[in-house]
């Protein structure tokens, strides 16, 4: 049996704001996004925010780090 994963309310908007501010997506951010996606009850706005994050990573505007805490770029 898989463990139940549930995102915290407002987690996606906080991850988006933090990644935009710091220029990086941390390991903790990625776990938060994974939890939100696995929940399968995302609003359209939350899905758009996740897509914006993924595009920013793909374009190199936000880098992915292995640190578990935010770094100021």
pLDDT 10s digits, 39-69? 777 889 989 999 999 999 999 999 999 876 6
Residue 2 lies in a domain: no
Rounded Cα gap, residues 26 and 38, in angstroms: 18
pLDDT value of position 73: 44
Residue 73 lies in a domain: no
Residue 32 lies in a domain: yes
Residue 3 scores a pLDDT above 60: no
Residue 24 lies in a domain: yes
Rounded Cα gap, residues 60 and 9, in angstroms: 28
Residue span of the structural domain in which 27 resides? 11-63
Percent of the chain at pLDDT above 70? 79
pTM for the whole structure: 0.74
């Amino acid at each position: 049996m898989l463990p139940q994963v549930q995102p915290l309310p407002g987690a996606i908007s906080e991850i988006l704001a933090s990644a935009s501010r710091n220029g990086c997506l941390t390991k903790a951010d990625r776990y938060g996004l994974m939890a939100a996606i696995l929940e399968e009850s995302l609003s359209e706005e939350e899905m758009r925010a996740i897509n914006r994050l993924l595009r920013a990573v793909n374009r190199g505007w936000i880098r992915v780090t292995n640190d578990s805490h935010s770094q100021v770029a």
